[in-house]
Structure 1
Amino acid sequence: MFKWLLLIAGAGLVYLWIKGKKQAKLNAENPPKPSKDKPKKTSDPEVMVQCQHCKVHLPQPEALTCEDRFYCSREHLHALDSNGWIGDAHWRISPNQDVRPENIQADLAVIHHISLPPGEFRRRDSSKHIVDFFQNKLDPNGHPYFAEIADQKVSSHFLITRSGTLVQFVSAHRKAWHAGVSEFLGREKCNDFSIGIELEGDGDTPFEAAQYQALTNLIRKLTSAFPNLQFAGHSDIAPERKTDPGIYFDWKKFQKETGISVNKLPFGLDPR
């Protein structure tokens, strides 16, 4: 009886072994298809980027972006970096610039107005022409006035459009060509020691609230980096040639919103 049981058990084991071999062969010939419901695993490496402000590396999904630049924090995005560039401005680099004289740092901010074509901002957005002008790309055939100025080589550090958009053309540490023949409290060649700020507008139209707000934000960043800044209009440093920013620029509003000491405004707060 015991021998029969051994034979039966042995036959069962042989059957299971043969069945397992057949199943293995079937599995090899017909591998299971991947489920459509399961996400496909990826082994792509994590993309790392560098903060424009502090140069720290971080994963791209964690970075804040402005144009094609990356920042590790909102503080750095909105700050003036060590190279003289503001992170959240639109950078449109102008060729019209050069180095400041040795051992000279900016201690004057000059406020201008500009409109291309003159007064066109009242009818439509025309700030792109100002950007083209500061980059030597203005089409002389685009408007009769453009033909008169297209060959001029000028720039400013900053432009604030009617909507309050901030555009930067030149590092705050370098010299932009905005003041021309000028004198500030007995010091000539104001480009050497000044920062130029253009407000889109003219002498016949009040500036927009958004422009004052953008200007206030800009001045706070600049005074943090350049604590000795004083402030003047283009007409204050070139009175025989210029009238900007004009009578519609509100110096009292500017002083109140920025918190600048009146002592930093040597030409006073009255419109001019």
Structure 2
Amino acid sequence: MWLDEGWIEEDWVHRMQSPNQDARPMGTRIDTLVIHSISLPERGRDASVVSDLFLNRLDCHSHPAYFELLGLHVSSHFLIDRDGSVTQFVSCEKRAWHAGISAAMDRSNFNHFSIGVELLGDVYTPFELAQYASLKKLVRTLQARYPLKYAMAHSEIAPTRKTDPGPFFDWKGLRKSNTYDIQIDGA
């Protein structure tokens, strides 16, 4: 079930509202899913640290790797933990600040028309089956409300800046082979 404001109202989605969001440009068609991976510090597995980053609560002096995050304001619509649990940080009707400077397929500013999904993990390690199961469930839920057509890696829209979700992310079952077109197995 959806709330009119773009929040998923289901028991499998936890809600924590990030202040790092703003309005999408009027009339924007939300048709793209951007897949990310995140770990803080590198190779970290604590989702609460990522939540703190998205909620502007991260103590950037608590770890040397966090110094570069001082003053950074970022968010994503969703975070999928290693156990498959899903947290929504930004209404899908709003623009989350996840893609940064981005361009692909003759389009730019992917934050405008995309939904950002972070998977807890890194570019060095395979993702968990529970994460893929939750991602597919999330995509089906999103497709019931939005005309999602494409699924793209952060590295595909910002190749000079980003490498995530990395070589261990398995696109099979999420998009058609050799395309960006979403295709969920069994759907």
Structure 1 position 264, deviation (Å): 6.6
Structure 1 position 80, deviation (Å): 3.0
What is the letter of the counterpart of residue 118 of structure 1?
A: E
1:160-199 pair list within 5 angstroms: 160-199=80-119
Identify the residue that residue 47 of structure 1 maps to in structure 2: none
Partner Cα separation in structure 1 for residue 104 and residue 69 of structure 2: 26
Tell me, yes or no, if the aligned pair for 2:44 and 2:121 is still in contact at 8 Å: no
Tell me, yes or no, if the aligned pair for 1:105 and 1:173 is still in contact at 8 Å: no
Structure 1 position 227, deviation (Å): 2.4
Identify the residue that residue 8 of structure 2 maps to in structure 1: 86
Three-state SS of the structure 2 residue aligned to 1:235 is helix
If you compute each CA radius of gyration, which structure gives the higher value, 1 or 2?
1
1:1-272 pair list within 5 angstroms: 79-87=1-9, 88=11, 89-121=13-45, 126-255=46-175, 265=180
Three-state SS of the structure 2 residue aligned to 1:213 is helix
Structure 1 window deviating more from structure 2 (147-156 vs 201-210): it is 147-156
Tell me, yes or no, if the aligned pair for 1:97 and 1:155 is still in contact at 8 Å: yes
Partner Cα separation in structure 2 for residue 185 and residue 84 of structure 1: 26
Structure 1 position 262, deviation (Å): 5.4
What is the letter of the counterpart of residue 93 of structure 1?
A: Q
Q: TM-score by structure 2 length? A: 0.91
Partner Cα separation in structure 2 for residue 263 and residue 101 of structure 1: 30
Structure 1 position 226, deviation (Å): 1.0
What is the letter of the counterpart of residue 2 of structure 2?
A: L
Partner Cα separation in structure 2 for residue 229 and residue 204 of structure 1: 28
Partner Cα separation in structure 2 for residue 131 and residue 211 of structure 1: 17
Corresponding pairs, count: 181
Greater relative CO, 1 or 2 (CA 8 Å, sep 6+)? 2
Three-state SS of the structure 2 residue aligned to 1:252 is coil
Tell me, yes or no, if the aligned pair for 2:122 and 2:165 is still in contact at 8 Å: yes
Structure 2: which 5+ runs fail to align? 183-187
Structure 1: which 5+ runs fail to align? 1-78, 256-260, 268-272
Partner Cα separation in structure 2 for residue 214 and residue 184 of structure 1: 26
Tell me, yes or no, if the aligned pair for 1:159 and 1:167 is still in contact at 8 Å: yes
Greater helix fraction, Structure 1 or Structure 2: 1
Tell me, yes or no, if the aligned pair for 1:136 and 1:150 is still in contact at 8 Å: no
Identify the residue that residue 33 of structure 1 maps to in structure 2: none
Three-state SS of the structure 2 residue aligned to 1:199 is strand
Identify the residue that residue 58 of structure 1 maps to in structure 2: none
Tell me, yes or no, if the aligned pair for 1:163 and 1:208 is still in contact at 8 Å: yes
> Cα 1:147–1:198, aligned 2, differ >3 Å: closer, same or farther?
same
Partner Cα separation in structure 2 for residue 230 and residue 262 of structure 1: 12
Tell me, yes or no, if the aligned pair for 1:80 and 1:222 is still in contact at 8 Å: no
The two structures, once aligned, show a CA RMSD in angstroms of 1.9
Three-state SS of the structure 1 residue aligned to 2:144 is helix
Structure 1 position 120, deviation (Å): 2.0
What is the letter of the counterpart of residue 42 of structure 2?
A: P
Identify the residue that residue 36 of structure 1 maps to in structure 2: none
Partner Cα separation in structure 1 for residue 8 and residue 177 of structure 2: 26
Three-state SS of the structure 2 residue aligned to 1:198 is strand
